[in-house]
Amino acid sequence: MSQLSEYAVELRNVVKTFKTPEGTMLNAVDHVDMNIKNGEFFSMLGSSGCGKTTSLRMIAGFEWPSEGEVFIEGKAQGHTPPFQRPVNTVFQSYALFQHMTVYQNIAFGLEMEKAPAEEIKTRVGRVLDMVQLNGMERRSPRQLSGGQQQRVALARALVKLPNVLLLDEPLGALDLKLRKEMQLELKAIQQKVGITFVYVTHDQEEALTMSDRIAVMSKGKVMQMGTPVEIYERPSSRFVADFIGESNFLEGTVQAINGDQASVLVPILMSEVTGLNLGNLKLGEKAVVCIRPEKIRISEQPAFKTNSFKGAVKTTTYIGSDTHVYVDVSGLTIKVWEQNKISSLDPKAYYSTAQNVYINLFPENTLILADR
């Protein structure tokens, strides 16, 4: 591998336009910039139609950008066909060749490289070890379970030792338990072989579990790109805060900006809320206060002079590790996740309906986002 570029894959200002059945033009991918570093586990996360699969297909070469350029290992790809790109794909449907055995499926890519027979044998054997499919060589894909087929699809792409492995919702068809196992296994394999993984998924937990970095996409655009911690703890927009995990939102106008802190007047609370200034705020403009349910503290007495609000418990849900408490504050329902840190059978240890409480928003855990 020649290391001219620190990026395994780069999308520069990429647009992909499709004609809709109604005849209008639609930007499935809309001016996307993405830098995927060498050896990174990179996920594109978004709901269906957000452009993540189209972006992946443009890296693979199945689609060509309408505008902009895809670079692989620093080389502009232009209209290079898929069979000349140093990337391989694990397909959502697996796309295994039913007329070939497991061995023949995995050997296919190496035969296309005209690798010597001996080398093919060793490399197929090694990758079969890696995905734990020894002894399955002579089976037809039809005779395998969904999980095993998934492994064949992975092995078939991995055996080529591509610079970049593209995975299009590879675990989508598996049941929950198997999916969780495969998530860990995929991550382990990725760290072992050191290949750059570009992973497309609509499952935020999957993306958070496996990725080094995530691009959250919506309507063809990248909404935010960052590590799982950055995405979750410092969402750049209300959309991302809402899409990843759970959030409480309070709408208001910016009242004061004080370095990395800001205050928002929230009409419904008839009060100011102070939190972290995440940038792009302007005095007098609309902003949204965003706070994760697990970061709110409930108490019987207000903990602060500001940022503490009186409310009444609406409902509670005991879910084992946590209790989900829904507090009515001036007509707003605020979600609070209370961790059950003590083991108790006494109902008084948990909040009960109609109980008067205060919710306390720690300014350092409260995010103020521009709402435009």
Partner 1 sequence: MLKRLRENKSAQGTLLVTPTLIWMIGLLIIPLILTAVISFGTRNADGGVIYGFSLHNYARLIGFTNDCPDGQASCFDSLYANILWRSLTLAFNTTILVILLAYPLAYYVARAQPKRRNTLLMLVLVPLWTNFVIRVYAWMMLLREQGVINSVLGWIASRFGIPFSPLQMLYTPGAVLVGMVYEFLPFMILPIFTSLEKIENALYEAAADLGANPFRTFLRVTLPLSMPGVVAGTILVFIPVMGTFIVSDILGGRQVILVGNLIQRQFLDARDPTFGSAASLILMIMTLIVTYFYTRKFGFGEEIIAV
Binding site for partner 1 (CB under 8 A): 60-62, 81-83, 87-89, 91, 93, 95-99, 108-109, 112-113, 156-157, 160
Q: Which is nearer to partner 1, 162 or 226 (CB)?
A: 162
Closest CA to 58 of 24, 30, 38, 23: 30
Closest contact distance (angstroms) between CB of 59 and partner 1 is 11
Show Cβ contacts of residue 337 under 8 Å, excluding neighbours closer than 6 positions. Answer: 246, 293, 294, 322, 323, 324, 325
DSSP letter assigned to residue 363: G
Closest CA to 369 of 268, 307, 281, 242: 281
Q: Which is nearer to partner 1, 153 or 210 (CB)?
A: 153
Number of Cβ within 10 Å of residue 132's Cβ equals 12
Q: Which is nearer to partner 1, 80 or 280 (CB)?
A: 80
Closest contact distance (angstroms) between CB of 142 and partner 1 is 12
Q: Which is nearer to partner 1, 126 or 310 (CB)?
A: 126
Closest contact distance (angstroms) between CB of 88 and partner 1 is 6
Closest contact distance (angstroms) between CB of 194 and partner 1 is 21
CA distances from 237 to 32, 201, 232, 294 (A): 17, 20, 11, 19
Q: Are 136 and 144 in contact (CB under 8 A)?
A: yes
Closest CA to 35 of 8, 15, 66: 8
Q: Which is nearer to partner 1, 83 or 341 (CB)?
A: 83
Q: Classify the C-alpha dihedral 295-249-274-312 as positive or negative.
A: negative
Closest contact distance (angstroms) between CB of 325 and partner 1 is 47
